Amino acid sequence: MSTRVAGALIGVVFGVVLSWSGMTSPEVIREGLLFQSSYLFLFFGGAVTTAFVGLRILRRRAPRALLTGERVRWETVRPERRHVAGSLLFGVGWGVSGACPGPIATQLGQGIAWGVPTTVGLVLGIVLFGRLQARGRAKSSVIPSPVAADATA
């Protein structure tokens, strides 16, 4: 199996779960952030706990990735100002729209037209970030240089 097929299959599972759990709906996110429902936090906690345990078992038992043969390993990242600054901007957008990058994609998939303006903005944000990086703002402590940026972010 190629890594592309694997990526697509993982995406399908992720997309079905984000839809079936209601995470695609801004109302479900809002109820969570207003502490009217515990679902969001239980769901998120269940996901992080499973991944935390699973990754630790994996690192101990599987030295090589199945498809690429790479060593299964990861580096942790030291917190910098950009992690706070970027997450502040993201938190404002998330709080107002009740959507984040995964649910924006599943809104499109479900055919929800309100997902279109959010998507256009998201794509513009990515392009804007690339421009800021290219313009040599890399020395800024908030816009990371291409080399310092987290690998898959």
Window 48-107: residues binding other proteins (CB under 8 A)? 48-52, 54-55, 58, 62, 65-68, 70-74, 76-80, 82-102, 104-107
Closest separation between CB of residue 122 and other proteins, Å? 4
Looking at residues 19 to 48 of the shown chain, list those that interact with other proteins (rule: CB under 8 A). 19-22, 24-28, 30, 33-34, 39, 42-48
- Residue 34 or 139 having the CB closest to other proteins: 34
Gap between the Cα atoms of 126 and 122, Å rounded: 6
Judged by CB, which is closer to other proteins: 135, or 151? Answer: 151
* SS3 per residue for the chain: CCHHHHHHHHHHHHHHHHHHCCCCCHHHHHHHHCCCCCHHHHHHHHHHHHHHHHHHHHHHHCCECCCCCCECCCCCCCCCHHHHHHHHHHHHHHHHHCCCHHHHHHHHHCCCCCHHHHHHHHHHHHHHHHHHHHCCHHHCCCCCCCCCCCCCC
Q: Is 114 in the site for other proteins (CB under 8 A)?
A: yes
> How many residues line the site for other proteins (CB under 8 A)?
111
**Contact status: 134 vs other proteins (CB under 8 A):** no
Q: Closest separation between CB of residue 135 and other proteins, Å?
A: 14
31, amino acid identity: E
**Is residue 138 near other proteins by the rule CB under 8 A?**
no
